[in-house]
């Protein structure tokens, strides 16, 4: 018997997105998604880098889902090495209780951007439509201070630091939370900053903080998410030259976390699979999963993303072994997952596939 639900990635951006480190944005922790090598088309919501992958594009003037076809994969419901079956829309991710992956907790100071309606609001629909259009690929301005970036702050205390997988999940959730926060939407206080960043290149700079520095980061506009005891704060994007001094002083590199084995991911939530063989630092991996969560939100149908938002964008991040990674790349080729491919300016080789994001899975029959 196949899964109960048959919808996979409907408003699809299935395929690869190309990401790159940008040395001009302060250091090796800076990420961007450039229009390079013919792999990314500015204004399109997706590209396909794997042989046989389906490319579904939406130009800047399109509404969400306009001119797109549903993307399906593994429709037979057969098991595969990453556990689970055909990707489907979660029934009610907000209702999951006792999960191995606790729902994302958006902190009280960020509640101005929470959605209280039971159904998607007009503002949320507009934000999702914007994500579904994809990111820009224009060249950088001549003045490096005018380069756009989203700053991400990871809470990494010296004593009893959180698990790496939880930190990355919180970072991924925080990044997409900013993108779908009402303050980033039509008439919102972050709208101009958000659109300037997203319609350029979605660079991210991951930093670490603890103690007073972490508390100070909450005085800067953004959203904090807690998952599995780990905290990450994604800030409203800005130009590099306009980064708040309280954030600029935070260290980008220098600390890493050991890879952990938290167990099977919860199928009720998206899973972001990372290739551990690349040896990415936690900062680089945080930026990469942030790219992946954005791409996935743009690929999923509106109602699925709305339910995900009401669960605080809870997700799992897991390392994939070689067999799992092969199965995941097959899903990307089939249009049933989204992927991030790195241009290789720092840390890893050009063309490396870094993260593959898989939608919530149907339960085994």
Name the more confident of 152 and 90: 152
Which pTM was predicted?
A: 0.77
- Can you tell me whether residue 94 is helix, strand or coil? helix
Q: Which residue has the higher pLDDT, 213 or 46?
A: 213
Q: pLDDT band at residue 349, thresholds of 50, 70 and 90?
A: confident
Average pLDDT for 297-307: 97
Give Cβ neighbours of residue 64 (< 8 Å, ≥ 6 apart): 11, 58, 125, 128, 129, 132, 133, 302
What average pLDDT score do residues 176-188 get?
97
Q: Which two tokens stand for residue 64?
A: 């969400």
Question: What's the pLDDT band for 226 if we cut at 50, 70, 90?
Answer: very high
Instruction: Report which of residues 214 and 267 the model is more confident about.
Output: 214
The residue extents of the domains of the chain are 15-60+71-136+147-358
**Mind listing the pLDDT tens digit for each residue in 84-135?**
432 222 222 222 223 344 566 666 455 455 556 779 999 999 999 999 999 8
Q: What is the pLDDT of residue 114?
A: 57
* pLDDT tens digit sequence for 31-55: 444 332 222 222 222 322 222 332 2
Q: What is the 3-state secondary structure (H, E, C) of 182-238?
A: HHHCCCCCCHHHHHHHHCCCCCEEEEEECHHHHHHHCCCCEEEEEECCEEEEEECCE
């Amino acid at each position: 018997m196949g899964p109960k639900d048959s919808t996979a990635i409907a408003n699809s951006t299935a395929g690869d997105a190309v990401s790159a480190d940008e040395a001009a944005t302060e250091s090796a922790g800076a990420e961007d998604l450039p229009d390079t090598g013919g792999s990314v088309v500015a204004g399109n919501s997706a590209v396909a880098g794997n042989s046989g992958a389906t490319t579904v594009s939406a130009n800047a003037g399109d509404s969400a889902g306009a001119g797109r076809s549903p993307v399906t994969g593994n429709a037979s419901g057969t098991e595969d090495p990453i556990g689970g079956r055909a990707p489907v829309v979660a029934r009610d991710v907000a209702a999951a209780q006792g999960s191995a992956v606790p729902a994302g907790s958006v902190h009280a100071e960020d509640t101005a951007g929470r959605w209280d309606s039971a159904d998607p609001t007009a503002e949320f629909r507009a934000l999702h439509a914007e994500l579904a259009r994809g990111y820009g690929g224009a060249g950088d301005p001549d003045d490096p201070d005018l380069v756009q970036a989203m700053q991400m702050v990871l809470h990494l205390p010296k004593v009893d630091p959180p698990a790496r997988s939880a930190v990355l999940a919180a970072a991924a959730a925080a990044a997409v939370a900013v993108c779908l926060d009402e303050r980033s939407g039509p008439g919102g206080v972050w709208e101009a900053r958000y659109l300037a960043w997203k319609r350029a290149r979605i660079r991210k700079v991951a930093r670490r903080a603890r103690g007073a520095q972490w508390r100070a980061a909450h005085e800067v506009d953004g959203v904090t998410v807690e998952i599995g005891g780990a905290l990450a704060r994604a800030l409203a994007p800005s130009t590099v030259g306009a980064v708040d001094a309280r954030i600029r002083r935070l260290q980008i590199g220098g600390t890493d976390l050991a890879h952990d084995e938290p167990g099977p991911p919860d199928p009720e939530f998206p899973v972001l699979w990372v290739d551990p063989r690349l040896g990415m630092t936690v900062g680089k991996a945080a930026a990469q999963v942030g790219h992946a969560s954005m791409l996935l939100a743009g690929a999923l149908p509106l109602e699925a993303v709305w339910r995900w938002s009401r669960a605080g964008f809870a997700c799992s991040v897991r390392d994939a072994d070689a067999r799992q990674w092969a199965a995941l790349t097959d899903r990307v080729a089939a249009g049933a997952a989204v992927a991030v491919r790195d241009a290789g300016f720092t840390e890893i080789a050009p063309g490396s596939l870094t993260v593959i994001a898989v939608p919530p899975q149907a339960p085994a029959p």
